[in-house]
Amino acid sequence: MKLKTAIATAVAASVLATAPLVVFAYGSHGTSTSAVPAARADIVDTAVAAGQFKTLAKALTAAGLVDTLKGPGPFTVFAPTDEAFAKIPADKLNALLADKAALTQVLTYHVVGARVMAADVKTGAVKTVQGMPLNVVASSSGVMVNNANVIKTDIAATNGVIHVIDTVVLPN
């Protein structure tokens, strides 16, 4: 229970600390200025229903982050597909899944404490819930987050949005 409280506190602190950075990168008050499509489920249930995030769901469960991402948010999750996780050698992935602290660092590095729709994405550094920034590059050929391509955008959830990426991004 202490870990859930610590994570919830870290998420809340990150949202407050992230707001000015997100304003710079995305527009007013760290939230999207675009219309948000109707959503019927939270980030976790939306990801599970999509069917291409089984490894992510397993990892969120192992890290104890399911309740946090079912919380009020708002969150933007750069969600790696099962194919993205498959790029990690099996022994390294299994070791990561077994190391709750390291897994939590990696997973929270995929989360921004604001709802950011694709139309609002701009090139720049964006602070994650984990604390380290993601390097976002928006160009005419698409959007990259660190070394990952954003392959699908704006999957709406009641507490945020999911953007699908083709590679697991790792904090330095």
pTM: 0.78
- Residues in a beta bridge with 157: 160
pLDDT tens digits for the chain (172 residues)? 443 333 333 333 333 333 333 322 333 333 433 444 556 899 999 999 998 999 999 999 999 999 999 999 899 999 999 999 999 999 999 999 999 999 999 999 999 999 999 999 999 999 999 999 999 999 989 999 999 999 999 999 999 999 999 999 999 8
User: Residue 82 has what DSSP assignment?
Assistant: H
Q: CATH no. for residue 8?
A: 2.30.180.10
Query: Is residue 91 included in any domain, yes or no?
Result: yes
Query: Is residue 131 included in any domain, yes or no?
Result: yes
- List the domain range (segments joined by +) for residue 98: 2-165
The number of domains in the chain is 1
As a whole number of angstroms, the distance between CA 110 and CA 147 comes to: 13
Question: Minimal CA–CA distance to 47: which of 143, 168, 161, 142?
Answer: 161
Each residue of 74-92: b (16+ CB within 10 Å) or e?
bbbbbbbbeebbeebeeee
Q: How many C-beta neighbours within 10 Å does residue 51 have?
A: 8
Query: Is residue 8 included in any domain, yes or no?
Result: yes
